[in-house]
C-alpha cells in the first residue's frame, strides 16, 4: 500500500509539473504572438517611374495605401520615384542588396542579368494581358519567375499590366522597312533587339528622360505605353506621327520586387497582406489603362491634331520575322530562357486556339 501511495503521489506531482510547464510554454507562445502582432515595420519602395506618374507611378502608391490600411499601420511602405533614392534602372540591385525592401519596375530592364527576364514583362507578338496573367497564376509562370529571381534574393510578384501598347511616336512616317534604317528609337527589352536586327538603333531611357531626348533630336522615335501615359508626357509636342500598331508589347506586365529576407521577417499575416495588395494592384492597374486609353486617344486627335498611323504590312511582317529569329537564337544560347520559353509558348499556343473560337470571332461579329 505504501509503495502504491508513493507511486500515486509521484504520478500526481509529475502531472502537476507537466501542466505547469505546458502552461508556461503556452503563455510564452501567446506572448510571442502578441509581440509579433504589435511589432511595426517600415519599408522603402523604389520605382523606375516618375513619382505619382499616372498608371505606372500610381501602382506602387496604391499598393502602399492598401498595405497600410489592411495592416492597421503595422507595415508602412514609403514610395520613392526614379532618382529619389536610386536611379530607375538600379531598382533590381537595390532590392537584391537589401538597400531597400521593395521595388516596382519592368522585368525587361534586367535582361543583362537574367536573359529570360523579359518574358515576364513583354514579348513581341506574345501574350495579351489576360493571357499573361492566366499563365502566371495557372500555367506555371510564377514558379519559373520565382526560380529565376531566387539567386538574387528577390521574391517577384505581378505589379500591374498596361495592356496593349501603341507602336510609338515618330518624327517621320514609316512607309517601308527602309525607313527603319538608322532610326534612333527609345525601346527596351527584346523589342529593341528586334528593331536593331531590322536596321534601327535602339536606345534605352527611363521615362523621365524621353521627352527631352526626343525634343533635342537625340532620338528620332519613342514608344512608351499608350495614349493615357503618352498624353501626360506630352510627346505630341515633339513628334508628328503616332503609330497605333501593337507588336512589341501586347500586354506589358509590371513587377513588384521584394527582398526575400525582408519578406521572411514579416509575420504570416503581414506576408499575406503584401500578397493580396499586390494582386489587387495587378488587377486595378490593367482596368485603369483599359478605361483611360481611349479617352486620352480622343484628346490627342481632337485637341492636339495628332496624326494616327499604322505600320504597313511589309513592316509588320519584317518585325515578326526578326522576332522569331531572335527567339530562336535566345532559346539556343540560354537554357533558362529555353525552359521558360517552352512553358510560355505552349500556353500561348493553347490560348491562341481558344481565342480564335471565342474573342476573335466575337470581335468580328460585334
Query: Judging by beta carbons within 10 Å of its beta carbon (0-12, 13-18, 19+), is residue 316 exposed, middle or buried?
Result: middle
Give the pLDDT score at 22.
52
C-alpha cell at 281: 494592384
Cβ atoms of 165 and 230 closer than 8 Å: no
CATH superfamily entry for domain 37-162+251-290: Bacterial extracellular solute-binding protein, family 7 (3.40.190.170)
* Distance of alpha carbon 42 from alpha carbon 73, whole angstroms: 9
Cα(342)–Cα(356) distance, integer angstroms: 21
Indicate the class that CATH gives domain 168-250+296-335.
alpha beta
Same fold, 37-162+251-290 and 168-250+296-335: yes
Alpha helices per DSSP H over the chain = 2-38, 58-70, 91-96, 129-138, 141-149, 189-197, 207-216, 227-233, 260-264, 268-304, 313-333, 335-355, 361-365
Answer positive or negative: Cα dihedral of 204, 205, 211, 214: negative
184 bridge partner residues: 201
Cα separations (Å) of 70 from 38, 149, 277? Answer: 14, 27, 9
Could you give the CA distance from residue 103 to residue 80 in angstroms, rounded to a whole number?
9
Q: Where are the domains of the chain?
A: 37-162+251-290, 168-250+296-335
pLDDT of 237-260, one tens digit each?
999 999 999 999 999 999 999 999
- For residue 38, what pLDDT is reported? 77
DSSP conformation class of 56: T
What is the pLDDT tens value at each position of the chain, 366 positions in all? 444 555 554 444 444 454 455 565 555 544 455 555 679 999 999 999 999 999 999 999 999 999 999 999 999 999 999 999 999 999 999 999 999 999 999 999 999 999 999 999 999 999 999 999 999 999 999 999 999 999 999 999 999 999 999 999 999 999 999 999 999 999 999 999 999 999 999 999 988 899 999 999 999 999 999 999 999 999 999 999 999 999 999 999 999 999 999 999 999 999 999 999 999 999 999 999 999 999 999 999 999 999 999 999 999 999 999 999 999 999 999 999 999 999 999 999 999 999 999 999 999 999
pLDDT for res 3: 47
Query: Which distant-in-sequence residues (6+ apart) come within 8 Å of 266 by Cβ?
Result: 41, 75, 274
- List, in sequence order, every residue forming a beta bridge with 136; answer none if it has no partner: none
Chain centre to alpha carbon of residue 235: 24
pLDDT exceeding 70 applies to what percent of the chain? 90
Amino acid at each position: 500500500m505504501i509503495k502504491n501511495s508513493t507511486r500515486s503521489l509521484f504520478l500526481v506531482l509529475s502531472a502537476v509539473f507537466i501542466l505547469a510547464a505546458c502552461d508556461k510554454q503556452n503563455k510564452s507562445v501567446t506572448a510571442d504572438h502578441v509581440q509579433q502582432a504589435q511589432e511595426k515595420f517600415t519599408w522603402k519602395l523604389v520605382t523606375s517611374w516618375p513619382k505619382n506618374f499616372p498608371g505606372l507611378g500610381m501602382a506602387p502608391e496604391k499598393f502602399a495605401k492598401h498595405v497600410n490600411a489592411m495592416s492597421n499601420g503595422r507595415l508602412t511602405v514609403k514610395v520613392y520615384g526614379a532618382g529619389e533614392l536610386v536611379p530607375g534602372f538600379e531598382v533590381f540591385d537595390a532590392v537584391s542588396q537589401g538597400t531597400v525592401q521593395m521595388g516596382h519596375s519592368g522585368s525587361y530592364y534586367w535582361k543583362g542579368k537574367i536573359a529570360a527576364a523579359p518574358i515576364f514583362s513583354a514579348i513581341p507578338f506574345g501574350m495579351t494581358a489576360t493571357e499573361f496573367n492566366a499563365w502566371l497564376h495557372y500555367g506555371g509562370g510564377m514558379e519559373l519567375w520565382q526560380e529565376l529571381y531566387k539567386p538574387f534574393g528577390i521574391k517577384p510578384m505581378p505589379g500591374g499590366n498596361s495592356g496593349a501598347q501603341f507602336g510609338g511616336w515618330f518624327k517621320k512616317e514609316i512607309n517601308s522597312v527602309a525607313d527603319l534604317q538608322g532610326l534612333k528609337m527609345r525601346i527596351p527589352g527584346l523589342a529593341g533587339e528586334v528593331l536593331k536586327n531590322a536596321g534601327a538603333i535602339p536606345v534605352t531611357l527611363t521615362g523621365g528622360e524621353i521627352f527631352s531626348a526626343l525634343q533635342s533630336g537625340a532620338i528620332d522615335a519613342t514608344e512608351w505605353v499608350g495614349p493615357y501615359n503618352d498624353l501626360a508626357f506630352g510627346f505630341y509636342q515633339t513628334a508628328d506621327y503616332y503609330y497605333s500598331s501593337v507588336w512589341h508589347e501586347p500586354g506589358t506586365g509590371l513587377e513588384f520586387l521584394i527582398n526575400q529576407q525582408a519578406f521572411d521577417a514579416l509575420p504570416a499575416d503581414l506576408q499575406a497582406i503584401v500578397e493580396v495588395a499586390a494582386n489587387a494592384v495587378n488587377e486595378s492597374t490593367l482596368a485603369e489603362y483599359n478605361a483611360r486609353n481611349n479617352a486620352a486617344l480622343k484628346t490627342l486627335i481632337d485637341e492636339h491634331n495628332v496624326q494616327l498611323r499604322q505600320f504597313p504590312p511589309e513592316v509588320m511582317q519584317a518585325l515578326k520575322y526578326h522576332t522569331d529569329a531572335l527567339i530562336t537564337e535566345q532559346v539556343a544560347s540560354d537554357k533558362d530562357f529555353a525552359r521558360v520559353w517552352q512553358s510560355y509558348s505552349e500556353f500561348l499556343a493553347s490560348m491562341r486556339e481558344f481565342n480564335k473560337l471565342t474573342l476573335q470571332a466575337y470581335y468580328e461579329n460585334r
